[in-house]
Amino acid sequence: MIVLVLGEPDSGKSRYAEALVMAMCEGGGADGSKAACKLYYIATMSVVDEESEVRVRKHRQMREGKGFVTLEIPYRVDRALEHITSPAQSVVLLECVSNLVGNEMYDDPDRAYDRAGCPRDEWLKDTADAVVSDIRMLAERCKDLVIVANRFKPDAKGYDDMTRLYVELNNTVNDRLAELAGRVAGIEEIREAPSRS
């Protein structure tokens, strides 16, 4: 099953998603089966400055001692399957789509916008297709996949052209993941969830 945890930046999505993944594993998974499972955390943030370093450190501390195997995969997340032993018995947390999309847009040697050589709308569609396909491949092989994603306002003031393109790609991927997901947890559900240490 795919669960999409969707909300604003710094809204508690990561805490909520970690608790959800832990509960899914303790209960055997989203389908209610009782088989033991392994926990994997796919970290997509690239450390590029002090702010990103602080966020990575915070997230490492949040999941410390919880039994996650951390895989740092900034783009093409289907590559995680090379490192996940027994995917069918694994519950995976993908953190997060907005970092993944930014890395695909700027860092992936085959998908980066500045290397694409095609019109904007074609690149946007092709890249959204590729990112969703990578995530779908991961979801099809794993027991359960919980995905954390930020939602951005598409018309916020102050966006330059590249930021608008990033936001459009991010929101397009989110919309398509919401269609694939068996469940979408929004901001109200996240706020109402009890804190879990």
Look-up of token digits 């907005």:
98
Domain with residues 2-192, CATH architecture: 3-Layer(aba) Sandwich (3.40)
Write down the pLDDT at residue 122.
Answer: 95
Mean of per-residue pLDDT scores for the chain: 86
How far apart, in whole angstroms, are the C-alpha atoms of residue 164 and residue 159? Answer: 6
Residues 164, 167: Cα–Cα separation, whole Å: 5
Does the structure show a pLDDT above 90 at 154? no
Q: What pLDDT, on the 0 to 100 scale, is given for residue 56?
A: 66
Read off the pTM.
Answer: 0.86
Domain boundaries, the chain: 2-192
Nearest to 30 by CA among 139, 118, 167: 139
Give the pLDDT confidence score for residue 79 in this predicted structure. 96
